[in-house]
């Protein structure tokens, strides 16, 4: 059943070049068995969309699921959203970011990955044929005592 679901997701992602589906294997247990119970696979899906050809911004969605639960079930899911917008003449963009997630232990207890919110500016540029961006963000980490960090 898992193979069938994976095959259908892979087939749905192949036609679009702005989507990325990856399967990784985490060898933490092999490197440090005292700290990590087991090695596990991880599935990552990314979707990137340039909003239009005149450069009004871009959107990124990333979802990563770690299959580190019992019987290699999903034990943790992480989500990241990123949006850049520009409705003015200078090529400086407004940048907005969100990240957070959920998890579960083998004992049946749930936990969350604290949310992080970011806002700032982004400056995209081209260098030797590659597109790069410089970002300056202020990030709010939603810990018990919130922290506000430059990023």
Q: Does the structure show a pLDDT above 70 at 92?
A: yes
pLDDT of residue 83: 92
For residue range 95-121, what is the model confidence (pLDDT) as tens digits? 999 999 998 877 778 888 899 999 999
Task: Give strand pairing partners of 73.
Answer: none
* Stretch 121-134: mean pLDDT: 87
How crowded is residue 82: how many other Cβ atoms within 10 Å of its Cβ?
18
pLDDT > 90: what percent of the chain? 33
Where in the sequence is the domain holding 43, given as residue range(s)?
Answer: 2-150
pLDDT of residue 53: 59
Distance CA 42, CA 77 (A): 10
Question: Between these two residues, 18 and 6, which has the higher pLDDT value?
Answer: 18
* Stretch 35-50: mean pLDDT: 87
Helix (H) / strand (E) containing 6: helix 2-13
How many domains are there within the chain? Answer: 1
Q: Average pLDDT over the chain, rounded to whole? A: 82
């Amino acid at each position: 059943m898992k193979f069938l679901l994976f095959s259908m997701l892979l087939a749905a992602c192949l036609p679009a070049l702005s989507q990325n589906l990856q399967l990784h294997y985490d060898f933490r247990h092999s490197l440090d068995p005292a700290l990590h119970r087991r090695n596990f696979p991880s599935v990552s899906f990314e979707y990137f969309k340039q909003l239009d050809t005149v450069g009004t911004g871009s959107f990124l969605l990333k979802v990563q699921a770690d299959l580190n639960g019992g019987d290699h079930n999903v034990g943790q899911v992480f989500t990241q959203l990123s949006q850049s917008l520009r409705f003015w003449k200078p090529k400086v963009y407004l940048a907005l970011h969100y990240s957070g997630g959920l998890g579960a232990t083998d004992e049946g207890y749930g936990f969350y990955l604290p949310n992080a919110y970011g806002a700032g500016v982004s400056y995209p540029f081209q260098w030797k044929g590659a597109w790069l961006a410089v970002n300056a963000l202020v990030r709010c980490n939603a810990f018990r005592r919130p922290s506000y960090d430059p990023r």
